[in-house]
Structure 1
Amino acid sequence: MRLSIGIGLGVVLLGSSVLGYEVKTPPLDTDWTYKVGTDPWPEYPRPLLQRSRWQSLNGVWKWRPASGLDEARMAPLNETLTQDVLVPSCLESGLSGVQELNVTYAWFDREFQVPRGWSAHNQRFIINFEAVDYEATVFINGRKAGFHRGGYWHFSVDATEFVNFKGTNKLLESPVQVFVFDPTDMEGYNIPHGKQVRNPSHIFYRPCTGIWQTVWMESVPTSFITRLDIAAGMDGQVDMTVLSSGASESVSVSVLDDSGNVVASHDATSNEPFSFVVDSPQLWSPDSPTLYNLTVSMGGDEVTSYTGFRTISSGEVNGVLRPLLNGKFLFQFGTLDQGFWPDGLYTPPNREAMVYDLKVLKDLGANMLRKHIKVENALFYQACDQMGLLLIQDMPSMKDDSVKYVPTDAEQAEFERQFELLINQHKSYPSIATWIVYNEGWGQYRDGRTPEIGLTARAKELDPTRLVDSTSGWYDHGAGDWHDNHHYANPQCGSKFYSAIEQLNSSPYDPSRIAIQGEFGGIGHNISEQHLWKVQAAINTINQTYEINEDLDAYNYRGHLLMSELLDQVKMYSCSGAVWTQTTDVEGEVNGFLTYDRRFLRLDKKQWKADIQALYDAAHARGGYAMTEMF
């Protein structure tokens, strides 16, 4: 079957032949670049809703650019595409085999066979897309079958009535086509796009266009489970909703421990919230990330999932408002995690590479990371669940200058719609502890309107089990659970001092909210040309790094000094968490713990482990969680 996807500003078609595909040499590679092969990301892509009958559609597809949005009106039938592209990947990346910049419209095409048995009576055939940037219009047999907008969210198309189950089907010509449009930050568009820009410069990076997460198909009954909302608390109560494609039906839920023993079961009805209790569960935490498996049955459908029992809340501890995990104050320390790769851009080369970053952070003793204005694939969140890393999850931002780019009512409404998608598609991952609405005012009104207040309330309505950081950085109007300070030269976390620079619109610490240093550090060091993103425009911006250290001794000394200041603020003031910039270098930034290629760790590990542990010890002395050494 050939699957065709048009990308609004560039059309791409994917084919099954591997002839002609090869990795394009990127400006910088990694140890995984040339190990990806032509069967990338073979893992089941949605671990929270897993079925036995599925098949990956990743691999070598065909593609071509498109001329404009007019091509979205009709599928390009009777056309053979000849250019190869690897899916999933970004067209701008070396891994794609394309590495073309500023593609706006494209078609993708791939042929595949529908597996035997999938055409049985009362079965549906679903094609799933984990993420396509930015708009996708789906056609099946020349008829429009679906449309999706938003570059970070998964969506599905029911192809049952349009495919030929007796032989090879062409998703573009017959039966499915998808047209995709990706404006990124083009003039006249203000959409959630995070750090992606068409003209990268320092803290803004090369964009991602196309099918950048897994495409796959599955066979489901006529009435099937579409989503599981799961929240398991420290008291053992499980609050669930089993959403289904049709009318409400009876469902059965079983909870199993890691030995496969059923520890609880419950019968309920789909599309209605219900609760039950697991007696004395082992709790999930960074130093003990215990997970339980779930089996959910509804009619002829059965899926597996998992959860972790933990409670995220806030409360006063010794006179200071604190973030609580399972009823105890947990000081949170981690990095600003951009999630960019030199070979795949938005798409990591493979799961091993993706998890490598998390292992480095865990080994240092970090118990948290802030996923910065990007949303990852489901396996990333599963890995954090399994490894015990709390997540502060950002909403991908609109343009960063909301004086020049004031969101229209329609753009604001679209941002808010996608913010709800972020929460609904991710609220069942135990590791996510906080949602961030706005980063440093990007896309936030400056004219007195305060949508973050309503969005904070909406987040609490959709997901009452987590905290909300309404404005990370500045333009703070008092909303949310966190008072979030950004200051790179030195931390100002819950302290009696702050930067009153008008352009930053910083504000004094608000003791009615939890204090966090949402970004700080950012000290840089240029290792060598060997580890640099070899794009001259990026190299030219290295000196825009907040601070450059000439050697690693200076880098580690400065890091220790800043961490010592933060430690004082944990001891003396009300600091409850901190986010160091950043996990890795990215393009023109050289301020990562790791270089962009992940081949060099700048840190004096012994020093940094001790400095991180000292934060936990200081918090413990003030009534906090007794963090054991996690390394």
Structure 2
Amino acid sequence: MMKVRATLLFALCVIFSASAQWKPAGDRIKTRWASEIDVNNVLPEYPRPIMERAEWQNLNGLWNYAIQPTGQQAPASYNGQVLVPFAIESSLSGVQKTVGDANELWYQREFSIPSKWKNNRVLLHFGAVDWKADVWVNDMKVGQHTGGYAPFSFDVTAALAASGSNKLVVKVWDPTDRGYQPRGKQVNKPEGIWYTPVSGIWQTVWLEPVPEKHIENIKITPDIDKNTLTVEGCVNEAVPSARLQVKVTDGSRVVAEGQAINNQPVEITMPANATLWSPDNPFLYQLEVTLYDGAKQVDKVKSYAAMRKYSTKRDDKGIVRFQLNNKDVFHFGPLDQGWWPDGLYTAPTDEALKYDIVKTKDLGYNMIRKHVKVEPARWYTHCDRLGMIVWQDMPNGDAGPEWQMRQYFTGTERVRSAESEANFRKEWKEIIDYLYSYPSIGVWVPFNEAWGQFKTQEITEWTKQYDPTRLVNPASGGNHYTIGDILDLHHYPHPEMFLYDAQRATVLGEYGGIGWANKEHLWEPDRNWGYVQFNSSKEVTDEYVKYAEQLKQLIRQGFSAAVYTQTTDVEVEVNGLMTYDRAVIKVDEPRIRKVNQEICRLLED
């Protein structure tokens, strides 16, 4: 009994010690969720709901860190502790230090493998690391990855100790805007529309046991016209006798199933009355995907799918309209930057991550444009479950903000180096592969406002060919080419149609930017800006409704979608529907919801 008490007391001391060592850094505004963080249980939700296994181990929490000049060996000692997965520059990391391109960021922690995993392979997963990551387990190099937005993993089984603890070391280099890599709104000197750098680990790190032969990935494709659901299962090694079985369920009831061998896709005929997914009815079927070797079950994952279709069609007035499930639909939603005052790229909790989507839905929108950022997998699952169409941007890069703005105003395309171009194509493909199976993704946006824009026709054609199930917006507000499915205009502050395309859908990809600097909820007391500035919720709401009435007329004339800037304030931008800390809804919610719903339903029969 004394030994049990001593062990329990030691464990409690460790937990208390960890909590005592961490607190948010800096004195800027924070969200209410920052105070809910438990350093011993950070972002504990399963990180990949689209392909779920029962067993996993979360490695989030306090890690050792060091910042040292590039090209050096692993540090002999560390500077302190950082709370993973919050970027080192963020308040919630507990550090809030800038790394820069002349330095490398080192992480170190230990972990143990549960004894029941003994006969399995062990995968080490990273949700996202910005930008170049080298990884060692027990001083053995297990892999390297470049790309700041897509998940990656390594099989670390051969590097694990036979028993006891294992040492994990990660080295990261991130040049921010001094490199060619995609980096979105991050710059070394934040101002205006450009924000604080994000370096290193910024999504969940986790371990997963898998069988020797296992499912590495699944690719889900619905076809409502043929009434089929196709599931491709990527297996880690060729297994001649492998058989993939897929069961589709509605609650506890199996409604359809299919199977295939020889690495062929499983083509499933859905019920004649299959329920279709939409923002008004975001219905999801559950999937059970099982891998057999002969008669023996060797692996099983849970997933989900939706029957839905994104397309365009000319209406009775000759205007090309968006369609969802073969019916006209107007896409209307906010520009969503996905930034947090305390976590930067990383929401403090899963509840916080979901909150922005919930409020967007509450405000009457049916779409979100995810702006030059990619989110953790759970964000897309929340969109799937809540019913939000997503326009997914490719994060821009390959130039500093000065050159990007010059491209925008001169209408020029960027001439990239061969290395830069190859990296763009690699990262864009990884992002599409990562997000392909999420039903909410409706539009791919490879470029924004000519920022780093290059070979637009070629990139658009490749994107459309690689994923013909989605629409492609070649350049939102950028240099325009008659390619893809969409002509996208930006106009601030009020809506305006200054170009029209009779062959593609014409959309207002950005407008609005109505600002109000709410003094109790500012990132900085000075330097705040919006495209237009007001001093109260009523003034902001009145202006919003005025623009909405103008937009209604333009929809009748030819707009098929619109994106309002923006979901929240971000750093010194104060043109959000909410303050940066999410503490204040800056508009009259019932009035905004009413007019937004009218806009979303304008094209309905």
TM-score (norm 1): 0.87
- Spell out, residue by residue over 1:490-511, the C-alpha distance to the aligned partner (whole angstroms, 9 max, x if none): 2124xxxx1xxxxxxxxx2111
Tell me how far 1:270 sits from its aligned partner. Answer: 6.3
- CA distance in 1 between counterparts of 2:177 and 2:603 reads 42
- CA distance in 1 between counterparts of 2:20 and 2:544 reads 49
- CA distance in 2 between counterparts of 1:166 and 1:184 reads 40
Question: Which amino acid counterpart does residue 550 of structure 1 have in structure 2?
Answer: N
Pair 240,452 (structure 1): closer, same or farther in 2 beyond 3 Å: farther
Tell me how far 1:142 sits from its aligned partner. Answer: 2.9
Aligned to 1:86: 83
Aligned to 1:106: 105
Question: Which amino acid counterpart does residue 560 of structure 1 have in structure 2?
Answer: V
Aligned to 2:255: 263
- CA distance in 2 between counterparts of 1:591 and 1:270 reads 54
Aligned to 1:501: none
Tell me how far 1:170 sits from its aligned partner. Answer: 1.4
Q: Is the 8 A contact 2:287 2:302 kept in 1?
A: yes
Tell me how far 1:18 sits from its aligned partner. Answer: 5.0
> Is 1:275–2:267 an aligned residue pair?
yes
Aligned to 1:238: 229
Counterpart pick for 1:290 among 278, 283, 289: 283
Q: Secondary structure of the equivalent of 1:164?
A: coil
Aligned to 2:185: 195
Aligned to 1:204: 194
Question: Which amino acid counterpart does residue 596 of structure 1 have in structure 2?
Answer: Y
Q: Secondary structure of the equivalent of 1:170?
A: strand
Aligned to 1:315: 313
> Is 1:585–2:530 an aligned residue pair?
no
Aligned to 1:553: 538
Moved more, 604-613 or 223-232: 604-613
Matches within 5 A, 1:26-45: 26-38=27-39, 39-45=41-47
- Spell out, residue by residue over 1:27-54, the C-alpha distance to the aligned partner (whole angstroms, 9 max, x if none): 1111111111211110110111111121
- CA distance in 1 between counterparts of 2:289 and 2:594 reads 44
Q: Is the 8 A contact 2:363 2:593 kept in 1?
A: yes
Q: Structure 1 runs of 4+ off > 6 angstroms? A: none
> Is 1:181–2:173 an aligned residue pair?
yes
Q: Is the 8 A contact 1:585 1:591 kept in 2?
A: yes
- CA distance in 2 between counterparts of 1:102 and 1:270 reads 48
Aligned to 1:5: none
Aligned to 1:153: 150
Tell me how far 1:75 sits from its aligned partner. Answer: 4.5
Tell me how far 1:261 sits from its aligned partner. Answer: 1.1
Moved more, 367-376 or 296-305: 296-305
Q: Is the 8 A contact 2:128 2:148 kept in 1?
A: yes
Aligned to 2:57: 55
> Is 1:223–2:223 an aligned residue pair?
no
Q: Is the 8 A contact 1:114 1:165 kept in 2?
A: no
- CA distance in 1 between counterparts of 2:220 and 2:507 reads 28
> Is 1:337–2:313 an aligned residue pair?
no
Q: Secondary structure of the equivalent of 2:361?
A: helix
- CA distance in 2 between counterparts of 1:443 and 1:218 reads 37
Aligned to 1:130: 127
Pair 330,270 (structure 1): closer, same or farther in 2 beyond 3 Å: farther
- CA distance in 1 between counterparts of 2:78 and 2:191 reads 34
- CA distance in 2 between counterparts of 1:411 and 1:616 reads 40
Aligned to 1:9: none
Tell me how far 1:614 sits from its aligned partner. Answer: 2.1
- CA distance in 2 between counterparts of 1:140 and 1:90 reads 21
Aligned to 1:470: 474
Pair 217,32 (structure 1): closer, same or farther in 2 beyond 3 Å: same
Tell me how far 1:17 sits from its aligned partner. Answer: 5.0
TM-score (norm 2): 0.91
- CA distance in 1 between counterparts of 2:206 and 2:18 reads 17
Tell me how far 1:57 sits from its aligned partner. Answer: 0.5
Question: Which amino acid counterpart does residue 442 of structure 2 have in structure 1?
Answer: A
- Spell out, residue by residue over 1:545-572, the C-alpha distance to the aligned partner (whole angstroms, 9 max, x if none): 211113333222211111111011112x
- Spell out, residue by residue over 1:309-347, the C-alpha distance to the aligned partner (whole angstroms, 9 max, x if none): 101111112122111100001111100000000000000
Aligned to 1:457: 461
- CA distance in 1 between counterparts of 2:166 and 2:138 reads 10
- CA distance in 2 between counterparts of 1:525 and 1:367 reads 24
- CA distance in 2 between counterparts of 1:270 and 1:524 reads 58
Aligned to 2:66: 64
Tell me how far 1:80 sits from its aligned partner. Answer: 4.5
Tell me how far 1:462 sits from its aligned partner. Answer: 2.1
Tell me how far 1:224 sits from its aligned partner. Answer: 1.1
Counterpart pick for 2:513 among 522, 541, 565: 522
Aligned residues: 566
Pair 105,233 (structure 1): closer, same or farther in 2 beyond 3 Å: same
Pair 75,24 (structure 1): closer, same or farther in 2 beyond 3 Å: closer
- Spell out, residue by residue over 1:397-449, the C-alpha distance to the aligned partner (whole angstroms, 9 max, x if none): 1134256874222101211111111111101000010000100000014xxxx
Question: Which amino acid counterpart does residue 162 of structure 1 have in structure 2?
Answer: A
Aligned to 2:552: 567
Q: Secondary structure of the equivalent of 1:32?
A: helix
Q: Secondary structure of the equivalent of 1:185?
A: helix
Aligned to 1:628: none
- CA distance in 1 between counterparts of 2:482 and 2:437 reads 27
**Structure 1 gaps, min length 5:** 1-15, 172-176, 446-450, 499-507, 624-631
> Is 1:613–2:597 an aligned residue pair?
yes
- CA distance in 1 between counterparts of 2:27 and 2:299 reads 44
Q: Is the 8 A contact 1:255 1:263 kept in 2?
A: yes
- Spell out, residue by residue over 1:524-562, the C-alpha distance to the aligned partner (whole angstroms, 9 max, x if none): 11121x10003x6xx32x24x211113333222211111
- CA distance in 2 between counterparts of 1:593 and 1:312 reads 28
Aligned to 2:10: none
Q: Is the 8 A contact 2:512 2:565 kept in 1?
A: yes
Q: Is the 8 A contact 2:447 2:478 kept in 1?
A: no
- Spell out, residue by residue over 1:385-405, the C-alpha distance to the aligned partner (whole angstroms, 9 max, x if none): 000000000001113425687
- CA distance in 2 between counterparts of 1:26 and 1:149 reads 33
Pair 138,33 (structure 1): closer, same or farther in 2 beyond 3 Å: same
Aligned to 1:115: 114
Question: Which amino acid counterpart does residue 185 of structure 2 have in structure 1?
Answer: K
Q: Is the 8 A contact 1:75 1:142 kept in 2?
A: no
Matches within 5 A, 1:410-449: 410-445=419-454
Q: Is the 8 A contact 1:435 1:469 kept in 2?
A: yes
- Spell out, residue by residue over 1:242-293, the C-alpha distance to the aligned partner (whole angstroms, 9 max, x if none): 1111004211111111x22111111113643342211121110000000011
- CA distance in 2 between counterparts of 1:251 and 1:490 reads 53
- CA distance in 2 between counterparts of 1:462 and 1:277 reads 24
- CA distance in 2 between counterparts of 1:137 and 1:369 reads 34
Q: Secondary structure of the equivalent of 1:335?
A: strand
**Structure 2 gaps, min length 5:** 1-16, 293-297, 408-413
Seq. identity, %? 39
Q: Is the 8 A contact 1:17 1:61 kept in 2?
A: no
Aligned to 1:213: 203
Q: Secondary structure of the equivalent of 1:457?
A: helix
- CA distance in 2 between counterparts of 1:125 and 1:601 reads 45
Matches within 5 A, 1:349-368: 349-368=348-367
Q: Secondary structure of the equivalent of 2:358?
A: helix
- CA distance in 1 between counterparts of 2:601 and 2:385 reads 24
Question: Which amino acid counterpart does residue 462 of structure 1 have in structure 2?
Answer: Y
Tell me how far 1:615 sits from its aligned partner. Answer: 1.3
Pair 485,270 (structure 1): closer, same or farther in 2 beyond 3 Å: farther
Aligned to 2:25: 24
Q: Please tell me the root mean square deviation across aligned C-alpha atoms, in Å.
A: 1.7
